[in-house]
Each structure stands twice: as structure tokens, then as C-alpha cells.
Chain A
């Protein structure tokens, strides 16, 4: 039912961007008549392909190569990992296009990049650069205190963070094609990631047991569109893939997120702020695939050197998780 709504919205946005598309493809002659790009299915489809994998934050082409060598399914190109953003303070923005191009050149896997919450022009620029996914991210300084980006207006898919189910559904209603539980980026402390995953999945389970009348109340409480709540009641899951991010630092952390119900993991500072990034990255990839096999988890957890030092959540001054509305 909601699929239809999103379909309608999509039709509208495709018309709105058709001029742009025509400019990008001056000659459509010879194309299969219904050959269409940027559909919801195509955008959500890439998230499906990233399932069971690890998306790694990288700040240089060298790191991107290490990530791909270790078996990352995608890299997130950014200028500073969250741990450094936290340390340095100041305003954090979209990365330099040259830096993103440098990473695109050396990798064959999808490249993601972050735009500030509500900063649709940064998103337009990232789409023009040809990135494969945009993360409308609370790790950067928000550009709009009320509105998120209208993600239906873009052909490139978006991932957004969420701390609870209501936030996840609001992002999906704006066109997000992947949700990641936020956790608390740059801390190396997994506690917030666990809290957010449990909150989202717990409410999905409760909705599954609710009757029709209760779904109206759920929609009100969650401040989320009723059709999305009804869809969850019917399917028992989010309409888009749900990944986990924020504070993961070890193979065990990745497997914990997967056992709790995440479908993939983002590892930011956890890899390149550790003492020996390459083997740690590989170990996290293997742990994410065999997340239920404790023997394999034990094996890959050996000899990785020091994990990122991290900061305890109680010592965190700026909570990125509170950004997003």
C-alpha cells in the first residue's frame, strides 16, 4: 500500500528531474523504451547488495585500498573520521570533491559520501560527482534544524541514521533507501548502537502484535506515516535494509550488531584509529559473515593489536545522536 504512495511520489520526482536526465543523456535513441534509472527499486537494490557486509570510513585513497583489500563492500569517503571530528570540534562539512574523486579512482567498490542534515546542495554536488550513496549524516554539523533533505528528488540513493523507529520511518518517508542505527560515532563504545538497534527492532516486534486500531496510536506516538506503520505490521520489518553504525570497534561488536538484527555494519573510526587497521578490517569482514559462529569469531579476534582507544559514553560532550529530527 505504501509502495504505491512512494511510487506516485517517485513518478512525480522523475518528471521533475526529467530535464536533468535528458541533459545527462542527450541521445536516448535505441534505448529500451522503459529503461529507467533512479527508481526506488534501483535505489533500494544497491542497499540489498551491501547486506552482510562492512562499509568502512576512509580519509585517503591509501585507506580506501586497504579497505577494499580487506573485503569491504563499500567505502565512506570523508575528510576526518568521526573520532577526529569529535576531537577537533568546529563545523564539519561535505568532503572536498578532489578528495572524493581520489578515492573513486582507486576503488572498484561503491563509494559513499556524507552531506550535512538538510543540506540539499551538498547532496546535489555529491550526486554530480557520481558517488554511489549519500549519507545524510549527523556526524557532520547539521545545516537545517527542522528539515531533512527531500531524498525523492535525487537519483542517487540515501542512507540516514535513526535512534528509534519513528526517526527511521520519517527518514524513509522522505525517501531514504537504507537506515543505519546511529549509535554514537567516533567513540568506540558500542552501547548506543545496541540501544538504538534494540529500540528499533523492539518496536517493530511490538507493532507486529498490534491490532489495526492500535496502529493509529503507534503512528501518532512515533510521529510516522500510518501507511509505513501498517506495512511494518504486515511484513514484520522495515521497508528498507537496516544497517548498524556508531561505535563498532571489534569483530565481536560487528557480530553483536548482526545477531541483534542489523543487516550490515558501518565501521568508522574503529578501523583506521586502531593500531593495525588491515588485519582488523579483514577480521571484521569475516565476523560479519559468520556472525553466529563463535569458533570463527574467536579465531578472527586473535592477534589484532590494540583497538581504538575510544571514549566512554559518559565522557562524551557532543552527542551526534541528538542531531536529526
Chain B
């Protein structure tokens, strides 16, 4: 696409940092706060924040249905942390009234890496990224507990005290999701990876 516009869901959370990262890649952005803001966007980013809050605002601002339709129609979407939760097909430890778009067939556990004191950063190698490993920042992050058919795992991490790796960056169809926050570092390679497929 010649000159795409990436909508960034700006209901709550780290949306401004995503906008900075995408702008640094030379791509136009639009803040999405109401259904009318969805007009003319070619891709969507769902940022980190509180997934319960964002989920409620999706309903009260009548965004859930139009966003769901765009995703079902194949719009490219990048979800980080809370965004991953909102795109997953099933969520544990969420709230009963919390619902997700099921845009990628994974199961996640909310705050699965623990509370803020367990939040961490680590260098992770990412499939498809050349050069140095990616510095991944995990904030009260969701754990991916189940990977469906056709979902590619692009990166994993070994949590403190665990005896196996957990997936932290997954892709399937039009959806790219991460447990961590690429927008909190100055490394825009993951945003570029997403933008390359629009």
C-alpha cells in the first residue's frame, strides 16, 4: 500500500508511545477514540494499558462491533500486552464481563508473569529480525498458555524460576501480538516488522 494510515486505539494506555514509534518509521497514524475515527485506517494497533478498562471503553463508546468487523475482514493488527489480551481467543484470570476479539487462536493468562514487582526486561532473539536481540519490557504481562494451529511463535522467554520457555511474540494471519512492550524502547524494528505487512 502506498501511503497507509495506522489507527492506534487511544482509549487508555501507552498509545502515545506507539504513535511515536510508528511516526519514527515514517508512517501516518490516527488516534482512535470513537467509531468515526476508524474511517480511512489501513491497520490497527491495540496498545498496552489496563485490558479491563479498555474493554469497558470499547463497549461504552460503541467501538467493539466496528473494530471486530474490521479485524474479521482481515485488517492487520498489532496488539501489545493488554492488546494481546484483547486479541486472544481465550483469557484466564480476566473479569467475567471482559471480552476479546478472538483475532488470534491463543490462550493467555492475564498478569501471568505476576504483579509489578515481577515485571522485568530481557534480551530476546526474534525470528525475522536481523542484528541484536530485542530488549523486551514486560509489565504485569500476560502469559501465553496455549498456541492454536497455524500460530507462529516468533520469540519466547524463560521466566524467572520456570523450567520452560513461554511464547511472547506470536503471529497468525493478520494479527501480531506481544506480551511485552516494544513501544517502551527506542528500537522500532518490531513496529517496522508489522508495517512491512500492511
Residues of A within 8 A of B (CB): 25, 27-28, 30-32, 34-39, 41-42, 45-46, 48-53, 68, 70-74, 108-110, 127, 130, 132-133, 155-157, 282, 285-286, 288-290, 293, 296
Closest to B138 in A: A42
Q: Do B11 and A51 touch across chains, with their CB atoms under 8 A apart?
A: no
B49 within 8 A of A: yes
| 18 more A-B residue pairs beyond the given contacts A45-B137, A48-B139, A52-B15, with a C-beta to C-beta distance below 8 A | A27-B161, A30-B163, A36-B122, A37-B117, A41-B137, A42-B120, A49-B48, A49-B50, A53-B13, A71-B53, A73-B12, A74-B50, A108-B95, A109-B50, A132-B115, A155-B117, A156-B116, A285-B53
CB-defined contacts of A293 to chain B, threshold 8 Å: 33-34
**Which single member of B34, B81, B124, B160 contacts A290 (CB below 8 Å)?**
B34
B102 within 8 A of A: no
If A42-B139, A49-B14, A73-B12 touch, whether A133 touches B53 (CB-CB below 8 Å) is no
If A30-B158, A32-B158, A290-B61 touch, whether A73 touches B120 (CB-CB below 8 Å) is no
If A34-B123, A41-B121, A49-B13 touch, whether A285 touches B116 (CB-CB below 8 Å) is no
A101 to chain B, nearest CB (A): 13
CB-defined contacts of A42 to chain B, threshold 8 Å: 119-121, 137-139
- Which residues of B, 144-189, contact A by the 8 Å Cβ criterion? 157-163, 181, 184-185
Q: Do B57 and A285 touch across chains, with their CB atoms under 8 A apart?
A: yes
**Which single member of B52, B82, B123, B163 contacts A32 (CB below 8 Å)?**
B123
Residues of B within 8 A of A (CB): 10-17, 33-34, 48-50, 52-53, 56-57, 60-61, 81-82, 93-95, 110-111, 115-124, 137-140, 157-163, 181, 184-185
12 A-B pairs (CB sep. < 8 Å): A31-B158, A31-B162, A35-B120, A38-B117, A41-B184, A72-B53, A109-B50, A132-B115, A132-B140, A133-B116, A285-B56, A293-B33
If A41-B137, A53-B49, A109-B50 touch, whether A31 touches B159 (CB-CB below 8 Å) is yes
CA of A53 to CA of B49, assembled, Å: 9
If A45-B139, A282-B60 touch, whether A290 touches B33 (CB-CB below 8 Å) is yes
CA of A133 to CA of B11, assembled, Å: 22
B12, B157, B185: residue with the most chain A Cβ atoms closer than 10 Å: B12
CB-defined contacts of A130 to chain B, threshold 8 Å: 115, 117
Q: Do A46 and B121 touch across chains, with their CB atoms under 8 A apart?
A: no
Q: Do A51 and B49 touch across chains, with their CB atoms under 8 A apart?
A: yes
Closest to B119 in A: A42
CA of A70 to CA of B122, assembled, Å: 34
If A71-B56, A73-B53, A285-B56 touch, whether A53 touches B115 (CB-CB below 8 Å) is no
CA of A30 to CA of B162, assembled, Å: 7
Closest to A286 in B: B60
A34, A38, A71: residue with the most chain B Cβ atoms closer than 10 Å: A71
If A52-B12, A71-B53, A286-B57 touch, whether A156 touches B117 (CB-CB below 8 Å) is yes
CA of A222 to CA of B177, assembled, Å: 44
CB-defined contacts of A157 to chain B, threshold 8 Å: 116
CB-defined contacts of B34 to chain A, threshold 8 Å: 290, 293, 296
B196 to chain A, nearest CB (A): 25
A153 to chain B, nearest CB (A): 14
If A48-B184, A71-B53 touch, whether A289 touches B137 (CB-CB below 8 Å) is no
Q: Do A68 and B57 touch across chains, with their CB atoms under 8 A apart?
A: no
CA of A318 to CA of B18, assembled, Å: 42
Q: Do A28 and B117 touch across chains, with their CB atoms under 8 A apart?
A: no
Q: Do A31 and B161 touch across chains, with their CB atoms under 8 A apart?
A: yes
Closest to B93 in A: A108
Q: Do A32 and B157 touch across chains, with their CB atoms under 8 A apart?
A: yes
